[in-house]
Amino acid sequence: MAAQELNAIARSIVADHKGILAADESTGTIKKRFDSIEVESTEENRRAYRNLLFTTPGFEDYVGGVILYDETLRQASDDGTQFPELLAAKGVVPGIKVDTGAHELAGHPGEKVTEGLDGLRARFEEYHALGARFSKWRAVITIGDGIPSDACIHVNAHALARYAALSQEAGIVPIVEPEVLMDADNTVERCLEVTSRTLRAVFDELDRQGVALEGMLLKPNMVISGKGCPTQASSSQIAELTLDCFLRHVPAMVPGIVFLSGGQSEVEATTNLDAINRIGGPWPLSFSYGRALQASALQAWKGDPANVEAGQEAFLHRARMNARAVAGDWSADLEQAVPA
Ligand code: 13P
């Protein structure tokens, strides 16, 4: 598809301070989330939970795209409308996670490479027919003693670019997600160094493989301290280092940067996004959050149909708070405010 049409889709997803809901938890990951609220992970419970999210009145004011999992793309809402159709009718672009997960990288203990390229062209054709207009592929880079290796960064960048080229060929906007994990005890400076190396390699490969930068979105981690680091960077430090890194490595032609939350709490993810947007850059700087948009909604719902409205309120609140952060006009007191 022409890069111009891909560009129009990408821009519509992040228009008007909107972001993305990552609801593409694989069957294994959603089980972990359901375990935390003691709900059994059956196909029907997964459908009911996604139904709660996607039928939330008004969420489309803050969310321009939803990433679905293969199973979810094929499921329908309570009234029988297929989820992609339901979302599209609200002006929310349906997306699809297409990688098949991160697996151990041979010869590199502790490092991973994302799989899913085999047969991907045919899968993209089917996903397009089912209504997907954007897609996601997540690469995982782990910080540790002597890692990440150049090999790990290189193979992941290569796979991201191969995926992105196939996605664009199918008329589907790729979301290129190279995630530097925040689970270790590294400093923020080390995260800056690894994120810089990773982004350099990713854009090098995207260029080499002819991916149209104007027809993609980038989904990166923020430059942030590892969870176990005794000194935690402040949100203004995170904002400064994140923008410094992205200004150096991400071409201005990319139509949007949508951060992952990566294990930050809901309010942390909003605070940091707001700080980033108070500085700003040449691209829309928005969110593509999974946990940071869903944690309190899951807790409110707990699998009980009587709590659907409470779950929807919690989700809508987070979506609204993050859209305010994209505008750079969020403040902590809004968290207490009664929803309008
Ligand atoms: P988190 O925001 O929970 O990190 O999830 C985003 C995502 O899609 C990871 O691939």
Q: How far is the CA of 13 from the centre of ligand 1 (A)?
A: 17
pLDDT at 300: 98
**Architecture category of domain 3-336 in CATH:** Alpha-Beta Barrel (3.20)
pLDDT tens readout for residues 24-44: 999 999 999 999 999 999 999
DSSP letters, 198-265, are: HHHHHHHHHHHTT--GGG-EE----S---TT-SSPPPHHHHHHHHHHHHHHHS-TTS--EEE--TT--
Cβ contact 120:98 at 8 Å: yes
Q: What is the largest CA-CA distance in the chain?
A: 55
pLDDT at 295: 98
Peptide bond into 148 cis (omega under 30): yes
Residues constituting the chain:
340
Closest residue CA from atom 10 of ligand 1: 138
Known catalytic residue at 104: no
Alpha carbon 15 to its chain's center: 16
Structure tokens given for 190: 């080390």
pLDDT at 340: 44
**Residue reference for tokens 């609220």:** 37
**324 CB within 6 A, ligand 1:** no
Phi-psi region of 36 (alpha: psi -120 to 50; beta: other; left: phi over 0): alpha
Task: List Cα–Cα distances, 139 to 120, 136, 319, in angstroms.
Answer: 16, 10, 25
**168 CB within 6 A, ligand 1:** no
Cβ contact 9:173 at 8 Å: yes
Q: How far is the CA of 158 from the centre of ligand 1 (A)?
A: 21
pLDDT tens readout for residues 162-192: 999 999 999 999 999 999 999 999 999 999 9
Phi-psi region of 146 (alpha: psi -120 to 50; beta: other; left: phi over 0): left
| Mean pLDDT per 10-residue section of the chain, whose length is 340 residues | 94 98 98 98 98 98 99 98 98 98 98 98 98 98 98 99 98 99 98 98 98 98 98 98 98 98 98 98 99 98 98 98 98 79
- What is the CB-side half-sphere exposure of residue 99 using CA atoms within 13 A? 24
**178 CB within 6 A, ligand 1:** no
* Active-site option among 177, 179, 205, 266: 177
Strands (DSSP E) found in the chain: 19-22, 63-68, 93-97, 102-104, 112-114, 134-141, 173-180, 217-218, 257-259, 285-289
Q: How far is the CA of 220 from the centre of ligand 1 (A)?
A: 10
Q: How far is the CA of 261 from the centre of ligand 1 (A)?
A: 6
**290 CB within 6 A, ligand 1:** yes
**291 CB within 6 A, ligand 1:** yes
pLDDT at 41: 98
Residue type, 111: E
In degrees, rounded to 5, the angle at the alpha carbon of residue 103 between the alpha carbons of residues 195 and 211 is: 55
Known catalytic residue at 219: yes
